[in-house]
Structure 1
Amino acid sequence: MDKCALLVIDVQNAMFDESNPIYQGEQLLRNLQDLINNARTANVPVFYVQHNDEEFENGTTSWEIHSSITPNDGEVVIQKHTPDSFHETELQDKLEERQIQNLVIAGNQTEYCIDTTSRRAFSLGYNVTLVKDAHTTWDSDTLCAKQIINHHNEVLGNAFATLKETKEIQFL
């Protein structure tokens, strides 16, 4: 994938709290580690997005990016306050600086930040690849996490993104 970047959204400690862990969190981390390692090996930039609100308060342990996927020095970390990783952030400018045209998206939370960012990236003209086994969420009152993930993969894959599994992503 030429002019490509990996976008890792909201993989922060609070989402792996033992009292309310995100669905299949350990598998998510393994998939993200593979994606990040493959991107770095291919010299594909990795961009991290970090959510900020009352649950993810800047500077707290729960706000920090999970230690198993810590950004390397020089990798971009974008701070956001809404589900849209582009809204009132530097993401668009940072991607344009590197002439990025293709985004591989993974992370949290499927029905909010993954969905919104994927749609916005598509609307901004990016070729979006959603890693269908590298985003997750929690059960809701009406649907289990697996149903939410499957639904969003179907909807986003039909109109806004190409769907691929972690093992199918080739950065070289």
Structure 2
Amino acid sequence: MVVNNTALLIIDVQQGMFTEDNPVYKGKQLLTNIEQLIIYFRSQHLPIYYIQHTEPAGREFEKGSPAWMIHPQIAPTASDIVIEKTTPDSFHHTELHQELKKSNIEHLLLTGIQSDVCVDTTCRRAFSLGYKSTLVIDAHSTWGSSELTAQQIINHHNQVLRWFAKTNETKDIVLR
């Protein structure tokens, strides 16, 4: 349930994740679902936090590079908070925890990229820090590997992360 002490976390939904030669799995649907959540959160005057992965100079996600930019379909507004990170953990060496505490946020809705890396790590860390979390099971994505398809990885994480978060689909959140 979305209440006043809830924030939407959008992890690493950056332009470099949507390249023509290797786009994130079901990227268009991912953007649509996150966009619906953004519209809902803004209509309820609830905070939105964008997490933006940043790499050193010369790397793909170098600050200011086209790949580094948040995808324009879900771009932040002036009222949203953007936090840069350099590791899979959105809390590690960032001001995320302090910003959430300052706003009395106790519940996080988790979305973004990569299900098996940054979303997973942030979900587990949020649990360890005492946040109640909801993983939006159709609003995170990844790429397949040589062993598993992207959908298998997503399904696996939707099951495993139930130890650390509640799970809901986008429609169950925005239609309440």
With the length of structure 2 as denominator, give the TM-score of the two structures: 0.95
Structure 1 match to 2:13: 11
Please give the root-mean-square deviation of Cα atoms over the aligned residues, in Å.
Answer: 1.1
Q: Which aligned pairs between 1:1-172 and structure 2 lie closer than 5 A?
A: 1-53=3-55, 54-157=59-162, 159-170=163-174
Shift of 1:52: 1.0
- Counterpart of 1:131 in 2: which secondary structure? strand
Question: Conserved in 2, the CA contact under 8 Å of 1:131 and 1:164?
Answer: yes
Q: Which letter does structure 2 place at the counterpart of 1:161?
A: A
In 2, the alpha carbon distance for the partners of 1:128 and 1:40 equals 19
- CA offsets, 1:57-106, max 9 Å, x none? 10001100000001001311000000000000010010011000000000
- Counterpart of 1:163 in 2: which secondary structure? strand
In 2, the alpha carbon distance for the partners of 1:36 and 1:93 equals 22
In 1, the alpha carbon distance for the partners of 2:26 and 2:49 equals 23
- Mark the runs of 5 or more structure 1 residues left unpaired by the alignment: none
In 2, the alpha carbon distance for the partners of 1:171 and 1:130 equals 16
Query: How many residues get paired?
Result: 171
- CA offsets, 1:95-152, max 9 Å, x none? 0110000000001000000000000001100000000000000011111000000000
With the length of structure 1 as denominator, give the TM-score of the two structures: 0.97
Q: Identical aligned pairs, as a percentage?
A: 52
Q: Which letter does structure 1 place at the counterpart of 2:52?
A: Q
In 2, the alpha carbon distance for the partners of 1:11 and 1:21 equals 12
Q: Which letter does structure 2 place at the counterpart of 1:11?
A: V
Q: Which letter does structure 2 place at the counterpart of 1:70?
A: A
Shift of 1:38: 0.2
In 2, the alpha carbon distance for the partners of 1:7 and 1:78 equals 10
Shift of 1:171: 9.1
- Mark the runs of 5 or more structure 2 residues left unpaired by the alignment: none
Q: Which runs of 4+ in 1 moved over 4 A?
A: none
Question: Conserved in 1, the CA contact under 8 Å of 2:36 and 2:174?
Answer: no
Shift of 1:170: 4.8
Question: Conserved in 2, the CA contact under 8 Å of 1:39 and 1:171?
Answer: no
